[in-house]
Structures are given as C-alpha cells and as structure tokens.
Chains A and B, each alone.
Chain A
Amino acid sequence: MEKIPILRMGEFLLVTIQVDMHDRLALALQDDLTTRISETGARGVLIDISSLEIVDSFIGRMLGNIAAMSRVLDAQTVVVGMRPAVAITLVELGMSLTGVKTALNVDAGMELLRSAVDGEREFYGSRF
C-alpha cells in the first residue's frame, strides 16, 4: 500500500504529499503522523501540499483535523504551497481551515514554524 513519508528535520516533521490523496491514505497519514509526533516529541509539523491538485471536503476536513490533533500533542502545524484552484475549492466548500497556519512555500513555512516555536519558548521561558 502507498504510504506518505514523514521526514524528521530537527524538532520538526516534514510531510510532503506527492500523490493523489484518497480517503484511506488520508486516514493512514493521520494515524502515522500522530504516532510520529508523540514518538519524536516534535514541536512542529509542516505539510507540503504543492503537488495536491484535487481536494474534496474530506481531505479539507482531514487537514483541519491533523492540525487540531497536532495542537493537542503540542506541535504547531503549517500547511504550505496550496494551489490557487485548491484554495478556491476549499473556500467554496465552506472550509476556511481556521486554526491552521499557512505559508506560501516550504521556506516561508519553516520560518513561520521556527518563529512560532521560539515565541512559545520565550513566553514560557519567561514565566517558568
């Protein structure tokens, strides 16, 4: 069965979706990713969907769910590289993915993750 690779980069996890998402693959990714986050203690997850051309409401909801689950496991999620057509589709479907951070490309996403994690660290560092 196809599997979406999850790469570890320091304290972040990098997921690049390079095949067409179908529902079972999405569920498997959700499973894998949550397991990996808790195993590695990752502080951030970066999901690159620049090759994703087709989305439906299920995939949209899955992206939202993954972000929420990571949040619970204390990792920030950034979705990067969404195509214009995909963005329009999601908006038309009424899914604005509130609570999910977004960035234009992997570079910008990494920067965003770093600053978010650093910000968190500073905040807690000053209090504890």
Chain B
Amino acid sequence: MATMINQKTSVLGPLIAQNKDQILREWIVEMNDSARRGDLMKEGELRSQCTRFLDLLAQGTAGGGTNLQSGAYDPMREMLAEISTSRAQQGFSAKETATFVFSIKRTLFTVIRDEFEKDPKTMALEIWNATELLDALGLYTTEVYLKSREERIRRQQEEMLELSTPVVKLWDGILALPLIGTLDSARTQIVMESLLESIVQTNSKVAIIDITGVPTVDTVVAQHLLKTVTAARLMGADCIISGVRPQIAQTIVHLGINLLDVTTKATLSDAFGLALQRSGFALAKPQKKEKQDQ
C-alpha cells in the first residue's frame, strides 16, 4: 500500500512542474483575495516567493512523496522557515502566514481535477495526498512563525533584564541601584551579583538601593532585599534602602518582615545625604564672590 501511494504521489511533482504558470497565476489571484497584505509586501517579492515555493514543492514531491521529514524537503523547509521568520518580523499575523501555503489548495485541486477527470479514484487519492502535504507544510510554517516569535520575546526579556539593573556611582565610594519593575528570584540574583561586583570594583563603602520603581513588595522580594543587604555587609559595605512608599511600608509591617537592621530612608536624596555624612563628606553652597570693583 505504502509503495503504491509513493508511486502515485510522484505524479504530483511533474503535474506541478507542467502547470506551473497556470498555478502561479491563479494562486496569486487567490491570495490577493485572501491573504495578501499590500501594505506589508510588494507584489514582485510575493511572486518570486511563490515561484520558488512551486519549484521546491515539485522537487520535494518527486523525491520524498508526501513525507515532509524526508531529505528531499530540506530546501523546502528551509525556505518556509525563512519566509515565516521574515513575515513574523514584518508584522504578518500567524493566520496570514499560514494562509500563504493553504491558499494554493484551490488552484492545485483544480489542476488535479482537470488532469484526472476520467479517473475518479486517482483524483481522490491525489487530492488527499496534496491535502496531507499542504496541511503539513502549513502547520510547519505556523510552528516556525511561533518559534521566531518566542525567540523574540525571550530576547526582549533578556534585554529588559540587562537594562533594568544598572548600578550607578553617585560619589566617590557611594553607589546607587535604582530598581524598576517587579523583582523575582532570577532578577534579584542578577541585581545582587552586579551590585556586589560594583562594590568591589569601585571600592564603595555605601550602597543605596532605591525601590521607588518597585510596584509591590511581598515576602519573597523583602527576603531578597535583606539577602542583598546582608551580602553587602559581609563584604564590608553599608546598604541603605530608599524610596519606600507608604503603601509598601504598610505591607512590610503587615507581613511581619523585620527591616529593623536595615537603614531605610524615604527618598533617594535623603539616603544620599546620609551616605555622604557616613563617608565624611559635607555639601555646601559656594560663597558668592564679593565684587572687587566699584
């Protein structure tokens, strides 16, 4: 049975090659109705993609039947992956990307119907084969599309992680770590490491952790903050936590978290003042020079 199907499917390849121009023409008309996005893609580009798709489809069916996993489909899969990825970036939806493949069905079925008009059995078999193959290709396209989207989301997450943990030097021996966004374990680990590394690098005695941008503090976040403060103390640096909002202060007390050992200040500027004082600095306005003329 299997050999029969494979033998029969090899008909698809030559059939597509023979009727390539007709299929191409009708396919593009079909797509204009359903899936083409004139705003995102030029007609010439679409046409060249369609031509390549048909060539590779003919090549694939000739060598690998309807089995998408066979080696004959390697170039086909590569091309679809490329198209999916580029379309995901161009802003096509998943449906539009998959429709690129599915829209060929009507045209292809018409060609098969005309070819096997006198042999209904073969016609049914070929149409089934073509459906199977095109469905597999369409699903593959969607899969790659999703993968490329996921890849993009993952990369953005990483970038956000890097962007959101800058350690800044405020003064000689004073560091600040403005935290923005929700703290979770992974992020706190990075925050902790980058703060401790910076303490060693800049030889700082005071580090200010500003949590103005942290929307909520729960027990886990508080635990992480305390760990960071303790680790910094072990290395010989003092930590000051600033920017505790009234809401968060209430939460901390209600949760029964002990922040007694940690110096807290309302604002970053208060904390900076304290840090300067602890480091033995004092700020003063410069005296106005008395005018010497007159």
A residues with CB within 8 A of B = 79-84, 86-88, 90-92, 96-97, 102-105, 108-109
Q: Are B234 and A91 in contact (CB under 8 A)?
A: yes
Interface size class of B (residues with CB under 8 A): 10 to 19
CB-CB under 8 A from B230, the residues of chain A are 91, 96
Q: Are B235 and A90 in contact (CB under 8 A)?
A: no
Main secondary structure of the interface of B (DSSP, over half): helix
Closest to B261 in A: A98
Bound: A105/B235 CA distance, A: 9
6 cross-chain CB contacts under 8 A: A84-B196, A88-B193, A102-B234, A102-B235, A104-B235, A104-B236
CB-CB under 8 A from A96, the residues of chain B are 230, 233-234
* In the complex with contacts A82-B235, A84-B196, A84-B200, A108-B205 CB distance below 8 A: yes
Bound: A97/B235 CA distance, A: 11
Quote the shortest CB–CB distance from A116 to chain B (angstroms): 14
Quote the shortest CB–CB distance from A75 to chain B (angstroms): 19
Asked if B227 is at the interface of the complex by the 8 Å CB criterion, the answer is yes
Find B234's partner among A87, A105, A108, A109 (CB 8 Å cutoff): A87
Asked if B232 is at the interface of the complex by the 8 Å CB criterion, the answer is yes
Bound: A90/B230 CA distance, A: 9
Closest to A96 in B: B230
B residues with CB within 8 A of A = 192-193, 196-197, 199-200, 203-205, 227, 230-237
Q: Are B236 and A97 in contact (CB under 8 A)?
A: no
Q: Are B237 and A104 in contact (CB under 8 A)?
A: yes
Closest to B202 in A: A104
Most buried by A among B205, B231, B234, B237: B234
Find B203's partner among A84, A97, A105, A109 (CB 8 Å cutoff): A105
Q: Are A84 and B236 in contact (CB under 8 A)?
A: no
* In the complex with contacts A91-B230, A102-B233, A84-B199 CB distance below 8 A: yes
Quote the shortest CB–CB distance from A32 to chain B (angstroms): 24
Bound: A88/B205 CA distance, A: 18
Most buried by A among B204, B205, B230, B235: B235
CB-CB under 8 A from B235, the residues of chain A are 82-84, 87, 102, 104
Q: Please give me the 5 A-B residue pairs with the lowest Cβ-Cβ distance, nearest first.
A: A84-B196, A103-B236, A87-B231, A102-B236, A104-B236
